[in-house]
Structure formats: C-alpha cells, structure tokens
C-alpha cells in the first residue's frame, strides 16, 4: 500500500502517512488514493481544496468548522514549514465530546491529518512562511461557517504560542467558548 492510515487517541481522527520514494532527483509520493482510503473504511468525496500561507510563526487559524448541511471532513497537509494541528470533538453525544487530538505536521514528514465532520479544526504555525493545504468534502458556506475560541481554557489545549504573541484574525479572536456553542452536531 502507498498510504498508511492510523487512528489517533480519538479513533475517528486519522493520521495518514504516505509512502515516500526518494532518489537523487528528490522524491515521489502518492498523497491521496481513494481506493486505499475506501479499503480502510473511509469513503469521502472531496469537492474543494484550500491553501493558506502564514507569514509568521505563531499564527493561529481556528478553531473552525461548518455546520450541517455543509459540514466538512478535512484532509490537512503542510507543503512548507510546520504546524501544531488540532482536531476538537464537538459532537455533543460523543463520548469524546470536548476532547482534542494534537499532532505536529510538517512538509518534511509529509503526514496528513484526516479531521472528520463534527470536529473543529485549527492550527498554529511553528515556522514562518508555512503553507497548508486541505481537501474538504463540502463547499464553503458563509452561513454555516463557525468557530470556537482557540484558547478556551476549558479545552486544555497546550498551544505552542502565548495568547499575547499569537497572530490571529479579528474573527478568530471573538469566537465563543465551547460551553456557549449551540449543539450543531448531536
């Protein structure tokens, strides 16, 4: 197989490790293969791919999600630099509601994180000029675009940047805490 798919501490969130074949020219890797995902029980229809560039280390993007009927599964990878990546379970009926998974992703290791629908997603850049791409299973919907305050103390996320040093959008500074979030996912 060209891709290894492994569960994380929250089994629905998956770490995806592509096989990388290197030689004197560089490398080749099959980043996504629908049939190998399907063999692992993951059948997704990606419809959009997004690309972000963060100029500064310590840039935080998130925690973001889209509510139904435009909820999104995301397959996240880093093209340049490194990130501290977070997937937060916001499914109220889930035994892991309010828990999160964190992992460092980098352009060097080429690992990816599969963040399923019902999870908020965010990341902090660990290097300047970090580029991140992610495939999603639903088109962007402004009406269904939501977020959770990235540093909500109830979440217990150990971010690698101090709140006073983080580079944030105005929108990401004002998201509600998890306790104030409507039940978008039951």
Which one of 70, 134, 146, 184 is the catalytic residue? 134
Cα distance between residue 115 and residue 180, in whole Å = 22
17, 8 Cβ separation under 8 angstroms: no
Residue 160 DSSP label: S
Question: Is residue 136 within 8 Å of 115, Cβ to Cβ?
Answer: no
Task: Point out the catalytic residue in the list 32, 51, 56, 64.
Answer: 64
Strand spans (E) along 24-174: 26-29, 48-54, 60-66, 74-80, 82-89, 100-106, 112-115, 119-125, 130-136, 145-147
Residue 64 is among the residues annotated as catalytic for this protein: yes
Chain centroid to Cα 126, Å, comes to: 15
Annotated catalytic residues are 64, 134
């Amino acid at each position: 197989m060209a891709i290894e798919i492994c569960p994380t501490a929250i089994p629905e969130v998956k770490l995806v490790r592509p096989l990388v074949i290197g030689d004197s020219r560089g490398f080749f890797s099959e980043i996504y293969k629908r049939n190998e995902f399907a063999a692992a029980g993951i059948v997704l229809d990606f419809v959009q791919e997004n690309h972000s560039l963060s100029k500064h280390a310590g840039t935080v993007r998130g925690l973001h999600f889209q509510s139904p009927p435009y909820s999104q599964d995301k397959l996240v990878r880093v093209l340049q630099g490194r990130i501290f990546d977070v997937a937060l379970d916001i499914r109220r009926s889930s035994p892991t509601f309010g828990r999160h998974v964190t992992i460092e992703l980098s352009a060097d290791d080429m690992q990816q994180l599969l963040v399923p629908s019902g999870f908020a997603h965010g990341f902090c850049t660990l290097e300047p000029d970090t580029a991140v791409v992610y495939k999603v299973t639903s088109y962007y919907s402004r009406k269904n675009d939501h977020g959770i305050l990235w540093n909500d103390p109830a979440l217990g996320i150990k971010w690698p940047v101090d709140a006073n040093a983080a580079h944030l959008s105005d929108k990401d500074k004002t998201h509600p805490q998890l306790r104030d979030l409507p039940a978008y996912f039951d």
